[in-house]
């Protein structure tokens, strides 16, 4: 009996190792550059991550959850605890995709040491593969320090949503020569610092193209260019969960808010008319 238990647990751990080995790695992602587009979507919860896992290379537990899940007006008040809880939920569902968790505002900007503590906490508690930080030039040293300490880091240039209160809203970046060259230079320095990939958000396509061709690491675009090495969308936007939110770079692939509305209206009608629960729904 004991022997059988031991064999079973050995078998279970072998399966676990196999499952772990089936996960997409930084190396797999880097090989896609110039060969295959990288598919990236945000997910914040177990059921959505379970669906996305089959189709995504990278699942991003983005701090956009401040808006999509918590109804905040921006990402600035998102906490590390929120990111950890949603990171855990997503990680329970994912078998294949590479999972990146955002470090939220106020948890990494103070010093490289603060960033490392936050990154290590997120990775230890969720088991995710990498963290993402919004990376102005001042964050290069932090990115380098994280990489030196064996953290997989994704950069984020262009529009950095954690700065919206500072810059006065969600504005396209890199439109003039000076800011375009600053974003390009920052991207190059981030590559040198060792980040494995960079999200480029809301910049002119010409700038995004220049960044993508200048770097050996893959770029993931959102409101950037079709020539980025991959694309990312916030899953709620793709699903059309908020019909009022439709900036140019968003495509609603379905109208889930209408679907939910119609299902809930039908439930309400059925309960009132005593059509639910029906006989087959009762014990
Ligand atoms: O938080 C997020 O969802 C993001 C993506 C928009 C890239 O950072």
212: tokens are: 């993508």
Mutate-to-test residue for ligand 1 from 68, 158, 232, 235, highest number of ligand atoms within 8 A of CB = 232
18 pLDDT tier (thresholds 50, 70, 90):
very low
Tens-place pLDDT, residues 182-227: 999 999 999 999 999 999 999 999 999 999 999 999 999 999 999 9
Residue 261 DSSP code: H
Overall average pLDDT of the 59-88 stretch: 98
Tens-place pLDDT, residues 91-131: 999 999 999 999 999 999 999 999 999 999 999 999 999 99
pLDDT at 76 over 60: yes
Pair 155, 221: CB distance under 8 Å: no
CA–CA dist 97, 105 (Å, integer): 25
**In 10 A of CB 120, how many CB atoms?**
15
Strand-pair category, 58-61 with 98-102: parallel
| Ligand 1 binding pocket includes 102 (Cβ within 6 Å) | yes
CA–CA dist 219, 14 (Å, integer): 35
**In 10 A of CB 181, how many CB atoms?**
13
Partner residues linked to 211 by β-bridges:
none
| Ligand 1 binding pocket includes 154 (Cβ within 6 Å) | no
1 pLDDT tier (thresholds 50, 70, 90):
very low
| Ligand 1 binding pocket includes 230 (Cβ within 6 Å) | no
Tell how many helices (H) and how many strands (E) occur in the chain: 12, 8
Q: Residue 243 has what pLDDT? A: 86
Closest CA to 42 of 112, 117, 99, 96: 99
| Ligand 1 binding pocket includes 234 (Cβ within 6 Å) | yes
Q: How far apart are the first and last CA of the chain?
A: 39
Pair 111, 90: CB distance under 8 Å: no
**Residues whose CB falls within 8 Å of the CB of residue 41, separated by 6 or more in sequence, listed in order:** 52, 55, 56, 59, 60, 232, 233, 234, 235, 238
Q: State whether residue 201 is helix, strand or coil.
A: strand
11 pLDDT tier (thresholds 50, 70, 90):
very low
For this structure, is 201 an active site residue?
Answer: yes
Predicted TM-score of the model (pTM): 0.92
User: Which candidate in 125, 201, 226, 244 is catalytic?
Assistant: 201
Shortest-distance Cα residue to atom 6 of ligand 1: 234
Shortest-distance Cα residue to atom 4 of ligand 1: 62
Q: What is the mean pLDDT of the chain?
A: 94
* Dihedral, 158, 189, 124, 13 alpha carbons, nearest 10: 110
Shortest-distance Cα residue to atom 5 of ligand 1: 62
**Residues whose CB falls within 8 Å of the CB of residue 3, separated by 6 or more in sequence, listed in order:** none
């Amino acid at each position: 009996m004991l022997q059988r238990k031991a064999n079973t647990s050995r078998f279970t751990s072998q399966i676990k190792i196999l499952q772990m080995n089936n996960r997409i790695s930084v190396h797999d992602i880097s090989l896609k550059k110039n060969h295959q587009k990288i598919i990236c979507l945000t997910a914040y919860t177990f059921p959505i991550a379970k669906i996305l896992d089959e189709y995504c290379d990278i699942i991003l537990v983005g701090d956009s959850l401040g808006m999509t899940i918590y109804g905040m007006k921006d990402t600035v008040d998102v906490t590390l605890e929120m990111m950890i809880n949603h990171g855990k939920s997503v990680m329970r569902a994912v078998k294949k995709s590479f999972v990146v968790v955002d470090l939220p505002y106020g948890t990494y900007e103070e010093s490289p040491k603060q960033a490392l503590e936050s990154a290590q906490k997120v990775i230890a508690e969720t088991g995710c593969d990498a963290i993402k930080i919004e990376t102005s030039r001042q964050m290069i040293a932090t990115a380098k320090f994280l990489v030196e300490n064996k953290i997989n880091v994704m950069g984020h240039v262009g529009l950095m949503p954690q700065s919206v209160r500072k810059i006065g809203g969600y504005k396209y970046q890199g439109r003039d020569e000076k800011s375009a060259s600053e974003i390009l230079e920052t991207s190059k320095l981030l590559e040198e610092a060792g980040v494995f990939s960079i999200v480029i958000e809301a910049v002119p396509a010409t700038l995004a193209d220049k960044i993508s061709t200048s770097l050996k690491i893959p770029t993931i675009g959102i409101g950037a260019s079709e020539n980025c090495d991959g694309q990312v969308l916030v899953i709620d936007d793709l699903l059309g969960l908020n019909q009022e939110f439709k900036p140019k770079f968003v495509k609603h692939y379905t109208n889930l808010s209408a679907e939910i509305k119609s299902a809930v209206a039908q439930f309400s009608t059925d309960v009132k008319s005593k059509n639910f629960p029906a006989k087959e729904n009762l014990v």
